[in-house]
Structure 1
Amino acid sequence: MSRGEVETAGVVGVVLAAGAGTRFGGGKAVARFQGERLVDRAVGTLVAGGCDRVLVVVGALDVGAVRHAILVLNPEWRSGMAGSLRAGLLAAGEAEAVVVTLVDQPLIGSEAVRRLVDAWRDGARVAVATYDGQRAHPVLFSRTAVADLLPTLSGDAGAREFLASRADLVSVDCTGTGRPDDVDTVEALRRLSS
């Protein structure tokens, strides 16, 4: 498992994939959907959406090599999503913007990523994808927003409270570009596949 830090890289994508996937029965990141591992699919979505580099935050599971990505180890993955998000944001270094997505949402489309990046280029500091008016992933943080976010991260809530407190949050309509369905169980993955 390699570790790396991206010093300056424009837009960096971060895939959160460090959890044990207990409800899934383990190994969620390497589970296959439409012939592709979930982790590879998430990386491909970020690359196709315009991210210059992609980091995959891992912890509970050794996912092996991931094409077009740098693996970032979160040794404190048991502490929850906030720890993994922190590890990814810190590894992104001086990225101008970071697009965060989850490994267990295989129907997120690259167009959603592209729309967030476009919103950032138009001046958004924090942007979140919405589907039929509901906030979901991916989420984009500018470099200055990352600096504001890092001290607030704790537990398993990730950036939820931070996003709720931002008056400058830009909602980007991504309806029709894909769906943010979570795959928390093997049965949920089967349903998406049928």
Structure 2
Amino acid sequence: MLLLHRPLDDAPRNAGRREGGMIPRSPWFNGPVRVVAVVLAAGAGRRIGGPKALLPIGGTTFLAHVARGLDRPGVAAVVAVIGHGARRIKSGAGVPPEVALVENTRPDEGMLGSILLGLDAADTLGADAVLLHPVDHPFTSPPTIEAVLAALAKGAVIAVPSYGGRRGHPGGFARASWPALREAPPARGARAVLADHPDWLVHVPGDEGCVAGIDTPEDYELRIGPLRRR
């Protein structure tokens, strides 16, 4: 495992905390565009009874499952922004050691705060673009991720997968879009950037998994229940 030599502690002061100080580089990275994947996992998960990062799926947790899915050729590093339940996540989520954990100490201020912490970490890593992926979408397929990466490699400022007329995840945001994300209204976050800059947006084909979010116990049982019963 290769380690980047610049510790996250050298990042801007609001960049959160990285356990261990160094962010490992993915052994898979071989892309022409340096992309860092950011898993957004700081929420409380109040509707489902606790942090979604810790929900079980296939013998592991949502956070570990999503992070492993993003650690693939074309992705230089994976960062997870955690918040609620951070202590339990650090000790019990089974996150691979190559995934950097950055703690959002004010997670109740909304997802945009986690996005900005992810951008700070990606900036420290010299990224050209980020993939933003909420932890509650564990079914995004490799072809969907690869389609977003391909669009970024071709020069897209923002690349988003779509399925059935709905936008899905992960969203790819090139560095040119980061100032707009930093200036976005907290209540609207990345949605404001998509609305204000339609000329930046490239839609790529996704599948049902990219729009299949888990928000409630009913969602969990619908999506995960059949997997447990196999």
How high is the TM-score relative to the length of structure 2? 0.77
Deviation at 1:148, TM superposition (A): 2.7
- The structure whose Rg is larger is 2
SS in 2 for 1:14: strand
2:10 is aligned to none
Please report the RMSD computed on the Cα atoms of aligned residues, expressed in angstroms.
Answer: 2.2
1:116 is aligned to 148
Name the one with the larger helix percent: 2
Q: Does 1 or 2 have the higher relative contact order (CA < 8 Å, sep 6+)?
A: 1
Which one of the candidate residues 179, 189, 194 is aligned to 1:158? Answer: 189
What is the CA–CA distance in structure 1 between the aligned matches of 2:113 and 2:138, rounded to whole Å? 22
96-105 or 184-193: bigger deviation:
184-193
What is the CA–CA distance in structure 2 between the aligned matches of 1:84 and 1:149, rounded to whole Å? 11
Matched, 1:100 2:132: yes
What is the CA–CA distance in structure 2 between the aligned matches of 1:34 and 1:66, rounded to whole Å? 14
Deviation string, structure 1 residues 63-87 (Cα, Å, up to 9, x no partner): 1252131001111111011111111
Where does structure 1 lack aligned partners over 5 or more consecutive residues? none
Equivalent residue letter for 2:69: T
Deviation at 1:180, TM superposition (A): 1.9
Which one of the candidate residues 26, 46, 50 is aligned to 1:26? Answer: 50
Name the one with the larger strand percent: 1
Which one of the candidate residues 48, 54, 59 is aligned to 1:35? Answer: 59
Does the CA-based 8 Å contact 1:100-1:140 persist in structure 2? Answer: yes
Where does structure 2 lack aligned partners over 5 or more consecutive residues? 1-17
After superposing on structure 2, the runs of 4+ consecutive aligned residues of structure 1 that deviate more than 4 Å are 3-6
Identity %: 34
Matched, 1:189 2:220: yes
Does the CA-based 8 Å contact 2:144-2:210 persist in structure 1? Answer: no
